[in-house]
Amino acid sequence: MIDNKGILLIYTGGTIGMIKDPVKGTLTPFDFSEVSDLIPELQRFTFNIETIQFESPVDSSDIHPGFWIRIAEIIENNYNDYNGFVILHGTDTMAYSASALSFMLENLAKPVIFTGAQLPLGILRTDGKENLITAIEIAAASENGQPMVPEVCVYFESKLYRGNRTTKVNAEHFNAFQSANYPYLARAGVELVFNREFIRHPQVIEPLVVHKEFSDQITILKLFPGINRKYMDVVFGMKNLRAVILETYGAGNAPSAEWFTSRIKKAVDSNIILLDVTQCSRGSVELGRYETSRTLLEAGVVSGYDITTEAAATKLMILLAQQLRDEEIKMLLNKSLKGEITIH
Ligand code: ASP
């Protein structure tokens, strides 16, 4: 049963936590523990809101797995003391961080809501204020004594998305994120309307387990017309490489030239896991639908279905760090672990 434990705000950096230096005119991070000076409305919540901030806030372009571990450990250490967590994060790599946390936090039964802003809180027209207030409201929302959204999510510009389904698609408008292959989980209009049937709930309540190991033996290879053999050789020839996310065309298609197919086959035969992810933002890989993907299927390439590159990269980094055989990893790649893929 949920009680009045309040919400923990974790400020990692990004535009949201900035104000304009009145002298230099540049944007600089402000002390987030004083956020309620900027947003006095926060004091109107009837529950406790506490803040933890990174000693040095980071632009999210500097985020790496070490930061994900720090965020996850803050959640782990405070898990029983709060009803939910709101993570303030730069938008540039928010989709990666939300995806990573979704795979790291095993048995998660509380809301972890990422949000940020395109314009800093210290600017009059900021989108950060609405994003922050609504993210807190969502993290605290409950029904029949249970949290409404016990998942890792991204809240941005009036929509709540499953975190591992998101991609940043806009660098200038307030609606920076999309979840092209999965419906939004809630919409904030006059009322907060939850899309209940699409929200994941844990089947059984088990203690939170945090995966803290990451492999860096992966890379992403985006296909383009004219890609050459030398480039493929360099990528697949990388030392200690264990997996490649192959960003393919349309429904998972790739060139059918003999040199290309045999290069792919050679990579698979040398135990590199190849995961086929489409470059299209909407739709799914369907290996074998066209002749140009049948060859990939026959070579042993694994279908990524409708996974985003962000979710594919973080899922692979975590799976490869576990003591699993390649066959088990391939099996798990074809399974929805945290609602990241749709398999019909
Ligand atoms: N460069 C910033 C970051 O991702 C942009 C933002 O916060 O939206 O940290």
Q: Are 203 and 233 contained in the same domain?
A: no
Q: What is the rounded CA–CA span in Å between residue 145 and residue 152?
A: 19
Average pLDDT, the chain: 95
Report the atom number in ligand 1 closest to the C-alpha of 117: 8
Report the atom number in ligand 1 closest to the C-alpha of 58: 9
Q: Are 20 and 168 contained in the same domain?
A: yes
Q: Are 53 and 106 contained in the same domain?
A: yes
For the packed helices 326-333 and 309-320, what is the interaxial angle rounded to 10 degrees? 150
Pocket test for ligand 1, best of 19, 28, 60, 88 (most atoms within 8 A of CB): 60
**Neighbour count for residue 147 (Cβ, 10 Å):** 20
Q: What is the rounded CA–CA span in Å between residue 279 and residue 286?
A: 13
Question: Nearest C-alpha to atom 8 of ligand 1 is from which residue?
Answer: 91
Q: What is the rounded CA–CA span in Å between residue 54 and residue 78?
A: 15
Question: Is there a catalytic annotation at residue 15?
Answer: yes
Does residue 341 form part of some domain?
A: no
Residue of 12, 15, 93, 308 with catalytic role: 15
Could you please report the per-residue DSSP string of 67-114?
Answer: HHHHHHHHHHHHGGG-SEEEEE--STTHHHHHHHHHHHEET--S-EEE
Question: Nearest C-alpha to atom 7 of ligand 1 is from which residue?
Answer: 90
pLDDT of residue 20: 79
Does residue 2 form part of some domain?
A: no
Confidence of residue 1 (pLDDT cuts 50, 70, 90): low
Give the structural domain span for 170: 7-210
CATH number, domain with residue 28: 3.40.50.1170
Tell me, in angstroms, the distance from the centre of ligand 1 to residue 100's CA: 18
Does residue 344 form part of some domain?
A: no
pLDDT of residue 2: 59
Question: Using a 6 Å cutoff on CB, does residue 53 contact ligand 1?
Answer: no
Q: Are 97 and 54 in contact (CB under 8 A)?
A: no
Going from the C-alpha of 125 to that of each of 15, 128, 174, 240, 276, the distances in angstroms are: 13, 9, 11, 48, 41
Q: Which has the higher per-residue pLDDT, 29 or 128?
A: 128
The C-alpha angle with vertex 159 and arms to 155 and 173, in degrees rounded to 5, equals 85
Residue 286: both structure tokens together: 């369907």
Q: Which tens digit of pLDDT belongs to each residue from 52-89?
A: 999 999 999 999 999 999 999 999 999 999 999 999 99
Question: Using a 6 Å cutoff on CB, does residue 90 contact ligand 1?
Answer: yes
Tell me, in angstroms, the distance from the centre of ligand 1 to residue 27's CA: 12
Q: Are 194 and 255 contained in the same domain?
A: no
pLDDT of residue 210: 98
Q: Are 73 and 164 contained in the same domain?
A: yes
Global pTM value? 0.96
Q: Which tens digit of pLDDT belongs to each residue from 106-131?
A: 999 999 999 999 999 888 899 999 99
Tell me, in angstroms, the distance from the centre of ligand 1 to residue 6's CA: 27
Pocket test for ligand 1, best of 15, 121, 173 (most atoms within 8 A of CB): 15
Q: Which tens digit of pLDDT belongs to each residue from 199-219?
A: 999 988 999 999 999 999 999
Instruction: 133-137: list long-range contacts, CB under 8 Å, 24+ apart.
Output: 133/39, 133/41, 133/42, 134/158, 134/188, 134/192, 135/86, 136/7, 136/9, 136/42, 136/45, 136/49, 136/86, 137/192
What's the structural domain count of the chain?
Answer: 2
Q: What is the rounded CA–CA span in Å between residue 220 and residue 300?
A: 17
Confidence of residue 36 (pLDDT cuts 50, 70, 90): confident
Task: Calculate what percentage of the chain has a pLDDT beyond 90.
Answer: 86
The structure tokens 């303030």 sit at 88
CATH number, domain with residue 263: 3.40.50.40
* C-alpha 213 chain-centroid distance: 17
Question: Using a 6 Å cutoff on CB, does residue 62 contact ligand 1?
Answer: no
pLDDT of residue 291: 84
Q: Are 103 and 184 contained in the same domain?
A: yes
Could you please report the per-residue DSSP string of 310-323?
Answer: HHHHHHHHHHHTSS
Does residue 41 form part of some domain?
A: yes
Task: Calculate what percentage of the chain has a pLDDT beyond 70.
Answer: 99
pLDDT at 28 over 90: no
Tell me, in angstroms, the distance from the centre of ligand 1 to residue 287's CA: 36
The structure tokens 């279908």 sit at 303
Confidence of residue 3 (pLDDT cuts 50, 70, 90): low
